[in-house]
Amino acid sequence: MSEFVTQATAFKPRSAVTQLQTFREQALNQWLDSHLPNRKTEAWRYLSLRALTGDNYFRTPAETPLEDKRALLTLSNIPGLDCYTVVMFNGSFEPALSSLPDSASGLQVSAFSDLSADVLSPYLNSAFNHQAHPFSHLNACHFADGLFVKAAKNAVIDKPLHLVNLVSKQPEKFNVSPRVLVIAQSGSQVSVIEHYISDEAEQSCFVNGISEYCVEEGAQANLYRLDMLQESAIQISGVHAALAKNASLNSFFLSLGSRLQRCDISVNFRGAGAQANLQGVYLPRNDQQVDYHTCIEHCVPHCTSNEVFRGIVSDNAKAVFNGRIHIHRDAQKTLAQLSNKNLLTSNKAEVDTKPELEIYADDVQCAHGATVAQLDETALHYLTTRGVSREEATVMLSFGFINELIEKIQLAEIGSYLRPVLAKRFASKHDLARHLL
Amino acid sequence: MLSIKNLHVKMANKHILQGLDLNVQPGEVHAIMGPNGSGKSTTGHVLAGREGYEVSSGEVSFKGKDLLQLDTEERAREGLFLAFQYPVEIPGVSNVEFMKAAVDAVRAHRDQPALDSMSFLKKAREYCTAVNLDQNFLKRGVNEGFSGGEKKRNEIMQMMLLEPSLCILDETDSGLDIDALQIVAEGVNRLRSPDRSFVVITHYQRLLNFIEPDVVHVLCGGKIVKSGDKSLALELEERGYAWLEDEVA
Ligand SMILES: Nc1ncnc2c1ncn2[C@@H]1O[C@H](COP(=O)(O)OP(=O)(O)OP(=O)(O)O)[C@@H](O)[C@H]1O
Ligand SMILES: [Mg+2]
């Protein structure tokens, strides 16, 4: 066993969740039975785990005084957004910093530790094929607590839920394993913003999260997943959704890039007439690696999936995008679309993009496309003929490339919040982004 | 204003301009006509600074500066404006943000005070109205999904905002409906002043009824083969270009 596996296996975080013994034991066994991915593992071949396995992250973070946490919370503020807020700080639920919905809202937000195993067990690992995700076993062994979110039957939740996962720098490396369970009961509508953010560029955490969305019949879940941990954080996550009959999922994924970032997304259609929209933007720079593996399981007929991801890869950074669409034999009348466009702003930047289609039904429509390109010279030239400097034109064009997706974000406050964050990403000097702010 | 002397330009080893001479004084309007492929757009692009053209000989001076030594954006800031024959679509970059950046850059270069957002927007809206473009075109992506005529009107709107001293209009009239042609011509005429010059590239004499040129040139095979007053345009309309080719030969 590698040292990493030994450390991971031995790690027993302080946890308030005592009622999930069986679940944890199973997870431990599954972890021990699975193999740590390496370059020979197909789904992981383009990603180097060395940053993770070369260090010991399996420690519980030190305590942070409440005032410090409160101060850091301003980092996650989304101006003008009227929302419920749940704060997880270094993986622990912070009721004092949260503003939870009341029972009249139809939205339940509870810590796993306050719920019985009977409530949790039917949902845990239910939304996805967890066997295929070794790090999900580790998450199941390690989450200190979890967050259970349930929109009651037919409830249209009045405000989005802002789920803040704040990570702070610590003197020693440490692990945080967030676990989120969102259930949209039949006919309900709920929006969740999963916001991962950290305080300083120099980070010492390994975040290994799993979020599951169970979208029941006719329900609608909107997910905004913002991965904004800074430079040297390591983040491996799974976001998995199961959609029942006529359910819908609208989702937006952002990765600002960090030292090692892997996100597995799966959408599992379990009832006819369901639909899923996935949009994503990733922006690794410097020596960062971002790896999105998405998987749409069309198991049943008459479902629609539409997936659009765009990436801008700069400096020495590397991005991987693997978009799998699996249309099972019974999934007639499936409509599946996938587009992945990449922009390379340096000749050392690298992208591996691969659509992966497996189609066993004959009456389906499936379209896919992937491109990797540099900035369009004709467009750059046009901008400069109006007096804009080449530098600023480059920033405008890069931003424009992803702005097409940002403009489509339904919650206007999130779009306005992200705009300046993203515009500044492309500008080495502040004033190059000033016309985009 | 502009002086082109014996300009030779190659593109992909093909000789396109072969000894072009052109002198434009402040306040003048010059029309350039000529057959397809004769080098009219090439002239505009070389002046505006597009890459990929090889200037093998010749000189271009613009307001006393050696134009060919300047970067594209410097030429624009110095007051050169090219309305493209085929304006470029740039999805995701909003027209208004683009133009604010352009106007700021140009004004800074000319030591004019920066416009605050409100006064800029006021101007932009006014010029949209002047070329009969709805104001929501400001918010849209640059030329994104604009019709052919809308793109041309957007070019003129940009020109008005940038207050250039030399405006090169490359077939701005092509693709415009009759009303739009008049609107655009009015826009251009509004900008005419003793210290602003125009080079109007067109295939149609009709435009020149609205924008009266001081000189009409015929560009053929990469050089000016004939120049005259506005009656030359009428003659070309009647006789085509073949007789000129014969005359030159
Ligand atoms: N990238 C290129 N590679 C090769 N030849 C080119 C290129 N660009 C232009 N040319 C050639 O140069 C010549 C002049 O082109 P230009 O666009 O200047 O013509 P024009 O006078 O504007 O014609 P039109 O009236 O059709 O707009 C044409 O023969 C054209 O095919
Ligand atoms: Mg032309």
Report how far ligand 2's centroid is from the alpha carbon of A312 (Å).
Answer: 34
CB B47 near ligand 1, within 6 Å: no
**Residue B242 pLDDT:** 81
The closest ligand to the CA of B36 turns out to be: 1
Rounded alpha-carbon distances, angstroms, from residue A104 to A101, A155, A157, A187: 8, 10, 10, 17
pLDDT per residue as tens digits for the range B26-83: 999 999 999 999 999 999 999 999 999 999 999 999 999 999 999 999 999 999 999 9
d(CA A47, CA A433): 31
Confidence of residue A430 (pLDDT cuts 50, 70, 90): low
Contact flag A397-B90 (C-beta cutoff 8 Å): yes
pLDDT band at A366 (very low <50, low <70, confident <90, very high): very high
Q: Is B51 in the pocket of ligand 1 (CB under 6 A)?
A: no
CA distance A64 to A168: 9
pTM, two decimals, is: 0.89
pLDDT of residue B5: 95
A196-246 pLDDT, tens digit each = 999 876 778 999 999 999 999 999 999 999 999 988 899 999 999 999 999
Tell me whether 0.90 is exceeded by the ipTM.
Answer: yes
Query: CA dist A303 to A226, A269, A367, A368, Å?
Result: 26, 7, 14, 16
Mean pLDDT over all residues of chain A?
94
Lowest mean pLDDT of A39-53, A290-304, A343-357, B160-174, name the range: A39-53
C-alpha B68 – ligand 2 centre gap (Å): 21
Task: Return the exposure string of B157-193: e unless at least 16 CB atoms fall within 10 Å of the residue's CB, then b.
Answer: bbbbbbbbbbbbbbbbbbbbeeebbebbbbbbeeeee
Q: How many CB pairs under 8 A join A and B?
A: 87
Residue A162: the pLDDT is 98
pLDDT digits (tens, 9 = 90+) for A156-210: 999 999 999 999 988 899 999 999 999 999 999 999 999 999 987 677 899 999 9
Nearest CA to ligand 1 atom 10: B11
**B242 within ligand 1 shell (Cβ under 6 A):** no
What is residue B218's predicted lDDT score, i.e. its pLDDT? Answer: 92
Q: For residue A225, what are the β-bridge partners?
A: A194, A253
Does residue B39 line the site of ligand 1, with CB under 6 A? yes
CA distance, residue A317 to nearest chain B CA (Å): 24
From B73, B81, B141, residue closest to A388, measured CB to CB: B73
Q: Which residues of chain B have pLDDT under 70?
A: 246-249
Beta bridge partners of residue A298, listed in sequence order = A269, A327
Q: Tell me which residue has its CA closest to atom 8 in ligand 1.
A: B11
Q: Which residues does residue A220 pair with via DSSP β-bridges, in sequence order?
A: A189, A248
Which among A388, A401, A404 has CB closest to B102? A388
Return the pLDDT at A425.
Answer: 82
* Distance from Cα A426 to the centre of ligand 1, integer Å: 35
Residues of A in contact with B162 (CB under 8 A): 386-387
- Flag whether residue B114 sits within 8 Å of chain A, measured between CB atoms: no
